[in-house]
Each structure stands twice: as C-alpha cells, then as structure tokens.
Amino acid sequence: MTESPPNTPPDSNSQHDTIPTIPIEFVSEEEMALIEAAYAATRSSLSSSSSSSICSPTSRFQTHSRTIHSITLLSKRGLNGSSELDIEDSDYLKNPQKRIRVAQPFLHRFRRKRALSVTDITATEWCEKQMEFSLLFGKRKISKAMKAGKARHVKLEEEVVKKVKVHIKSVEDSWALKFINFITCANQLLFEGITRELPLVGFVEGIWLVGVIDELRMPENGSDRNPILVDTKTRVRDTLPAKPQSRNGRLQLMCYKYLWDTLAANSFPSGQFFDFFSLNRSYMLSNDIRERTASSGFPAKTLDDVIQYYINTCSMLPTSHDRLLLSRYELQKDQSVLGEDEFAYDPDWLKRQIQSNLEFWLGEREASYTPQEERWKCRHCQFASICSGNPVPNIPRGSSSSSDHSSSSS
C-alpha cells in the first residue's frame, strides 16, 4: 500500500515552498517473512550452484500460488511501478547489521516468552530447512499416521493416568497445571513404579526447554532406584525405522533424560523462570486449581507456592538410568511389537546436537539442508516443491518408496 502524490501538478512558482509528499510503503509480516525466506533461498542457491542435485522451485508452485519472487518484487516496487532496487534496498543487502535488525532469530520471533520444546529440537535435527519453512509458512500437515500415533499415546496414558478437567483463567494457571501434573506423575512413579505422559520444564544449555516423557518406569531389580525412560513409536508398515529415524528418536529420549537429571539435581532457577516468562509469582490461582492441589496433598494458592512444591519434589527424585529404551515400535493396525531399541546415554553427543540446533534458532547461521544421503526425506515433505535442496522436485510428495520412512509418529 502506497500513498500517492496529488494528481494535479504543483504550481511552478510554489515548488520550493511546497513540502513534497513522501511515498510510504507498508509491508505486512507475512510479506516480510516471504522476503526474508526468498533472500535466504537466493543466497543458498548461489552458494551451492555447483552441485547438480540442487534444484530451483518448480513451476507448479509459481503457477498456483503467489510466488516468493512476485511478493518480493511487489514489496520492493517504487512509486512509479519500477521493480528496481533503490538505495535503501541495496544497503539492506550489503549491511549485515540491518539484516539482523529486520530478521530476528527464529528463537526470538517464534518462541518469544515461550520455551523451546524437545519436538523443536528433534524436528530441527530431522531437517533444518523443513523447520525453517514450517516457521515461515505454517506447521507441517498432520498425516493419518501421526493422528494414529497420537491416539495410541492417549490410550496408553489412560491405562495408568486418570485425566480431570480443570478450568484455567490465566497463563499463570496454565503453567501451574504443568507443574501440578509433573508432581502427580512423579509421585505415581515413586509409589507405583510407573507413570506416563510426564511434563518437563527445565533450564539447560542457556535456554528454557519443555517436553513430555512417554513413560517412566522403575527397574524390576528392587536394588536399582534409577527410573528408565521409555518411548513408543507407531509404524504403518511392519518394518523397523531407518537409521535417521532411530537417531532422531534417540535424540528425543536423551533430551528428556537431560531435563529430568537437571531437575533431579535441584537445578531450577525460579527467579529466571518468572522473569523470562513475565509471570506474577503472587498470582492467585483459579478455584479449580486450588481445589486440585488441596485434594492432591499439596495445597497451593499462588503460582509461587506450586513452584516451591515442584522444586521440593525434584529434590527427592533420583537421576534416570543411563540405559535408555526406545521401546514398542508398534504396528498401528494391531499394536504388535516390531522391535525395541536399547541404547546408552551419550551426553557429549547430545550437547553437540543441542548446540548445533541453537546455532540455527539463534540466527548464528542459515538453515542447513538435510545430508545428501538422507534426501529421501524430501519425498515426504510438504515444502519439497519450493526447496532448492530437493533433488527430484517433480516427484509428488508422499510417492511410494521401498521403505516406510514417513510412517513413524511419536
């Protein structure tokens, strides 16, 4: 949208006395996001043009939607309709400080006042470019396999946990509920030996991280009091996952162990928590939540009260077992077990993975394409038609292949 000067030309005698009308350009957040994505894609294409596997966006995307190129030109167009870049545009391209000021890191743009999730970490490890596109253009579409996996997790949770509806009135109530559910699940683990869908909130590697553990169980050996983390993955086909999927699942469980062990070490900076999320520690919780805490044996009136109970509970917890079990690769149609993956915790590898993730989220580098040997992932990506890293852009997304690469869902 541009403000145009009056149609009637100014009197030549008064040109010097008349204040000129300055054209003002308004760019929406959506258009700005597309501009930034186009700029990033252009730089990536130029830097890797020597590789034969790098392809440009397909014509189908350009025909059926408002392309990144066209929106970029529209937003750059001057008052006279010209698409040439003006001085400010060229300065924007040359000056990295201006780029940083306009394009904030994804962590600040999309996770402001909210924590990064373990799902964010694993999705970024799967494909940074896909994560970038999902942030800019919308979340990944939920497939039937993903819906079936979610339904299976709900059923597993209902086997050991009874859900109760609670009315919340504020963001403080919402956070309080997460901590209350953690306390309830932790007590169930200590007294019954098993719990499921345990929410985690912790501060690791300089960031706030949240997640939900599928299952925690105490070892059958009574002398061992270190709980074992278990995860369940469902499969459409009766095949075990490919190596990248197993690696991604292991990363997920290691993140949960890192969070759990950090909490068990009594490391929860409550002051930083209230400050970062801009929460009122003295906020009076809703009646439903206060009744819930009272009936559970830890009466709390404010969010700060709940946090104190949370910290006290964490101080009584043992660290989790170094042996992790990515269990129950189940066939969706009948829940038959296809296999189990037991592995050891690798803290050094985990921290390298998290730090690599944070480089992307903090804007320290551009998004990387998935490795060449893992480009089969592109066949199942909804952004394949606009990604220059897709080796075969004309193959429809979700085309059949010999492996069940996309059917696993947490």
pTM: 0.70
Residue 71 falls inside a structural domain: no
Residue 102 has pLDDT above 50, yes or no: no
Q: How many CB atoms are closer than 10 A to CB 118?
A: 23
- 116 neighbors 106 (Cβ within 8 angstroms): no
Residue 346 has pLDDT above 90, yes or no: yes
Residue 208 falls inside a structural domain: yes
Runs of H (alpha helix) within 161-225: 171-192
Residue 240 falls inside a structural domain: yes
Structure tokens at 304: 């700060």
Report the pLDDT averaged over residues 7-26: 43
Structure tokens at 31: 């258009």
CA 288, chain centre distance (Å): 30
Residue 78 falls inside a structural domain: no
* Pairwise pLDDT comparison (303 vs 32), residue with the higher score: 303
Question: Number of structural domains, the chain?
Answer: 1
Q: What is the DSSP letter of 7?
A: S
pLDDT of residue 146: 65
Residue 339 has pLDDT above 80, yes or no: yes
Residue 105 falls inside a structural domain: no
Measured distance CA(179)–CA(223) in Å, rounded: 29
Residue 354 falls inside a structural domain: yes
Structure tokens at 152: 């299976």
Q: How many CB atoms are closer than 10 A to CB 98?
A: 13
Confidence of residue 41 (pLDDT cuts 50, 70, 90): very low
Residue 44 falls inside a structural domain: no
pLDDT of residue 144: 67
Max Cα–Cα distance, the chain, nearest Å: 98
Confidence of residue 327 (pLDDT cuts 50, 70, 90): low
Report the pLDDT averaged over residues 313-328: 88
Residue 198 has pLDDT above 60, yes or no: yes
118-171, pLDDT tens digit by residue? 999 999 999 999 999 999 998 766 666 666 666 765 666 666 777 778 888 999
Residues 103, 108, 109, 110, Cα dihedral to 10° = 140
Residue 4 falls inside a structural domain: no
Q: What is the DSSP letter of 328?
A: E
* Alpha-carbon separation of residue 84 from 78, 80, 90, 295 (angstroms): 8, 10, 10, 68
364 residue type, one letter: E
- 336 neighbors 237 (Cβ within 8 angstroms): no
The CATH number for 210's domain is 3.90.320
Range of the domain at 163: 115-380
Measured distance CA(402)–CA(121) in Å, rounded: 28
Residue 23 has pLDDT above 50, yes or no: no
pLDDT of residue 155: 67
